């Protein structure tokens, strides 16, 4: 069996499962945010439920339109907050404690190896990076899971992506996952579990792995996963407040597809509008001027991302025609960036630093684009109108390209700075 | 259950930001959401459609965000069914859960033209193109899924069953 099949079998109380099999699985974590929770809470009430199955296993994070961007958003968050208080939800994160959910949960040790996790947010697939089965759902599945602590799943086929070779300078997890999506397309892993392996993954940091699993959904994947190793254990051990279980794929595990990539041949990637599959290597981008650069989000708002960006921006100035917006993923990351002097570097360069929020990624607030404007962004989606006006454009990249582009005013590699 | 309406055609990879842009997600009210249904892919969609009409699309319909607001907006707008070559998985599950019938049928998706009058029998999975006088076969919904749809969604189905 693959690691995904083993985790699902365990949570279904079975010795083994096969792809296509329908199972009822017990859940370790059930998650929602300020956009998806209100609909789910309505469904919870509609079903006549009085109590959640376990107040310690539900996580509610107010991260999308917070700090409240308008009255309607404030009402949505209040609705979720009132529910959290009524149900005495242990892990409810409000402004001040909250971070972007998929940066926050791993950081706080709420998601652990071997877990089965359901979240009413498509990027819930992020937690595969710690070796969990984790997938996104809608609000009704979230409501049902809050009541029963279970969800039904069709066991997905697994697809394996093997990266061997040394990563080039400025290439990170974002570039690898964009490269995959460029290769297989936005539905190339539809309904499947995406398993990442190979020497380049073994040496990839946790932050890089979280970025990769985060965008499994952008290839249509049900989940992404990196089998746990020493790097995983070093990350989760000091954070875990409960037991967890390490699984690995068997050597004879069955995959519907195995793809081998030479990591040393991959250059920094940029996804052109309006699909994450429209990828190009940075050398093929050409002259694309930008109005905004966004560094942050559940994809790339972690310490490593901020350090890379600050390393490029130190002593430089943001191009006069560009607005640089930096969003640390959580309060802990914010504080760490402050202590390391990164915030100072961003501000001195002429960038702004925001409180953690999903804001600009989905055109909510804190960096909405006007008609005809263009943003380079370390976020995960470049759909039409995603960051604002329907005729604005989003180009996706890792933090190195986004930082260099902010300085040069066009999409460019850090190698071009100072030339 | 029989559904009848006019077909509205869309291409590949229609995402949930196009179905209901995030800027409208500061509410959960289904009617407010429906007012902006498909706005970023066809701003006049809500003016053009009539109750019972059918969306017909190519591959990977509903990709992107997990927002249940997307199928909810489509259903509340009065669309009776979505037919596509394939669906993104979260959208598929959400649609069934809120009681929006959706059918995978590559033949129907490629042969139906915009404006064709379509009749659908969910129990047999039959799609009849009344304009072109053609019939396409999709997989029929199993009985429990038909019951979820006619109850108006999973939660209604579960509470009615108890």
**What ipTM does this complex have?**
0.94
DSSP sequence for A205-242: -HHHHHHHHHGGGGGT-SEEE----HHHHHHHTTT-SS
Write the pLDDT tens digit of every residue in A283-292.
Answer: 999 999 999 9
pLDDT over 90 (residue A333): yes
Instruction: Write the pLDDT tens digit of every residue in A384-402.
Output: 999 999 999 999 999 999 9
A358: confidence class by pLDDT, cuts 50, 70, 90: very high
B73 and A CB contact within 8 Å: no
Between A211-225, A317-331, B139-153, the lowest mean confidence (pLDDT) is in B139-153
Partners of residue A33 in chain B, C-beta under 8 Å: none
The residue among A289, A313, A328, A276 whose CA lies nearest residue A400 is: A313
Report pLDDT digits (tens) over A132-177.
999 999 999 999 999 999 999 999 999 999 999 999 999 999 999 9
pLDDT at A265: 97
The whole-number pLDDT of residue B143 equals: 84
Identify the pLDDT of residue B159: 80
Instruction: Give the global pTM.
Output: 0.97
Comparing alpha-carbon positions, the chain A residue that sits nearest to B99 is: A140
Beta bridge partners of A195: A160, A225
Of B23, B66, B155, the CB nearest to A36: B66
Q: How many CB pairs under 8 A join A and B?
A: 123
Q: A34 and chain B: CB distance < 8 Å anywhere? A: no
pLDDT at B162: 54
Per-residue pLDDT, B161: 64
Element (H, E) at A5: helix A3-11
pLDDT tens-digit map of A244-267: 999 999 999 999 999 999 999 999
Give CA separation, A248 vs A2, A113, A237, B144, in Å: 7, 10, 18, 36
CA-to-CA distance for A394 and A369, rounded, in angstroms? Answer: 9
Interface check for A220 against chain B (CB to CB < 8 A): the answer is: yes
Interface contact A148, partner B, CB < 8 A: no
Closest residue in chain B to residue A35, using alpha carbons only: B25
In chain A, what is the straight-line distance between the N-terminal and C-terminal CA atoms, in Å?
52
Q: What is the pLDDT of residue A168?
A: 97
Whether residue B89 is predicted with pLDDT greater than 70 in this model: the reply is yes
Q: Are A393 and A409 in contact (CB under 8 A)?
A: no
Band (B69; pLDDT cuts 50, 70, 90): very high
Structure tokens at B35: 């007012």
Categorise residue A411: left if φ over 0, alpha if ψ from -120 to 50, beta otherwise.
beta
> Cβ of A381 and B25 within 8 Å?
no
Mean pLDDT, chain A, whole residue set: 97
Closest residue in B to A390 (Cα) is B40
pLDDT of residue B49: 97
In whole angstroms, give the CA distance from residue A397 to residue A412.
10
Confidence of residue B109 (pLDDT cuts 50, 70, 90): very high
Give pLDDT, residue B146: 86
**B154 in A contact zone (CB under 8 Å):** yes
What confidence score (pLDDT) does residue A406 get?
98
What lies within 8 Å, CB to CB, of A335 at 6+ separation is none
Give percent of chain A with pLDDT exceeding 70.
100
Instruction: Write the pLDDT tens digit of every residue in A233-243.
Output: 999 999 999 99
pLDDT value at residue B157: 84
**E strand spans, A50-115:** 58-61, 91-93
What is the distance in angstroms between the CA of the first residue and the CA of the last residue of chain B?
23
In tens, the pLDDT along A60-119 reads 999 999 999 999 999 999 999 999 999 999 999 999 999 999 999 999 999 999 999 999
What's the average model confidence in pLDDT over B106-130? Answer: 96
Specify the pLDDT at position B158: 77
Residues 6+ apart with CB under 8 A from B35: B46
Tens of pLDDT along B10-29? 999 999 999 999 999 999 99
Chain A contact set for B68 (CB, 8 A): 36, 39, 120, 138-140
Neighbours of A418 (CB within 10 A): 7
């Amino acid at each position: 069996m693959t690691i995904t099949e083993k985790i699902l079998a365990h949570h279904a109380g079975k010795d083994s499962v096969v792809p296509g099999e329908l199972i009822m699985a017990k859940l370790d974590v059930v998650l929602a945010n300020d956009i998806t929770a209100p609909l789910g809470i309505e469904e919870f009430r509609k079903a006549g439920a009085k109590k959640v199955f376990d107040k310690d296993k539900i996580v509610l994070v107010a991260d999308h339109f917070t700090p409240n961007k308008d009255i309607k958003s404030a009402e949505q968050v209040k609705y979720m907050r009132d529910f959290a208080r009524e149900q005495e939800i242990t892990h409810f994160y409000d402004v001040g404690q909250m971070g972007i959910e998929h940066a926050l949960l791993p950081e706080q040790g709420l998601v652990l190896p071997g877990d089965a996790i359901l979240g009413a947010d498509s990027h819930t697939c992020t937690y595969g990076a710690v070796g969990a089965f984790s997938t996104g759902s809608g609000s009704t599945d979230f409501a049902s899971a809050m009541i029963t602590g279970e969800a039904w799943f069709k066991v997905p086929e697994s697809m394996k992506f093997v990266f061997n070779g040394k990563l080039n300078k400025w290439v990170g997890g974002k570039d690898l996952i964009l490269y995959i999506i460029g290769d297989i397309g936005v539905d190339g892993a539809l309904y499947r579990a995406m398993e990442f392996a190979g020497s380049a993954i073994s040496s990839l940091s946790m932050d890089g792995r979280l970025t990769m699993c985060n965008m499994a959904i952008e290839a249509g994947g049900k989940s992404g996963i990196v089998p746990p190793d020493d790097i995983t254990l070093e990350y989760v051990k000091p954070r875990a407040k409960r037991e967890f279980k390490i699984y690995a794929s068997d050597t004879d595990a069955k995959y519907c597809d195995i793809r081998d990539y030479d990591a040393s041949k991959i250059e920094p990637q940029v996804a052109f509008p309006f699909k994450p599959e429209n990828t190009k290597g940075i050398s093929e981008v050409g002259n694309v001027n930008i109005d905004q650069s966004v560094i942050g989000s559940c994809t790339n708002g972690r310490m490593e991302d901020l350090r890379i960006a600050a390393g490029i921006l130190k002593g430089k100035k943001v191009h006069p025609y560009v607005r640089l917006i930096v969003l640390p993923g959580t309060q802990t990351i914010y504080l760490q960036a402050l202590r390391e002097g990164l915030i100072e570097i961003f501000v001195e360069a002429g960038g702004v630093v925001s409180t953690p929020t999903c804001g600009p990624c989905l055109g909510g607030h804190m960096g909405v684009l006007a008609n005809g404007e263009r943003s380079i962004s370390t976020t995960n989606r470049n759909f039409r109108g995603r960051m604002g006006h329907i005729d604005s454009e989003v180009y996706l990249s890792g933090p190195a390209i986004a930082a260099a582009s902010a300085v040069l005013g066009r999409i460019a590699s850090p190698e071009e700075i100072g030339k | 259950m029989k559904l009848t309406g006019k077909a509205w055609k869309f291409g590949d990879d229609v995402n949930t930001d196009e179905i209901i842009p995030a800027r409208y997600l500061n509410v959960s009210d289904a009617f407010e959401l429906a007012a902006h249904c498909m706005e970023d892919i066809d701003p006049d969609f809500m003016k053009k459609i009539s109750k019972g009409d059918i969306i017909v699309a190519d591959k990977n319909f509903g990709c992107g965000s997990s927002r249940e607001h997307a199928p909810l907006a489509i259903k509340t707008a009065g669309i009776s069914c979505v037919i596509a070559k394939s669906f993104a998985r979260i959208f598929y599950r959400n649609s069934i859960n809120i009681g929006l019938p959706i059918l995978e049928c590559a033949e129907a998706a490629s042969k139906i033209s915009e404006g064709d009058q379509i009749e659908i029998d969910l129990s047999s999975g039959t799609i009849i193109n009344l304009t072109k006088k053609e019939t396409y076969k999709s997989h029929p919904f199993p009985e429990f899924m038909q019951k979820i749809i006619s109850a108006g969604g999973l939660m209604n189905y579960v509470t009615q069953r108890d």
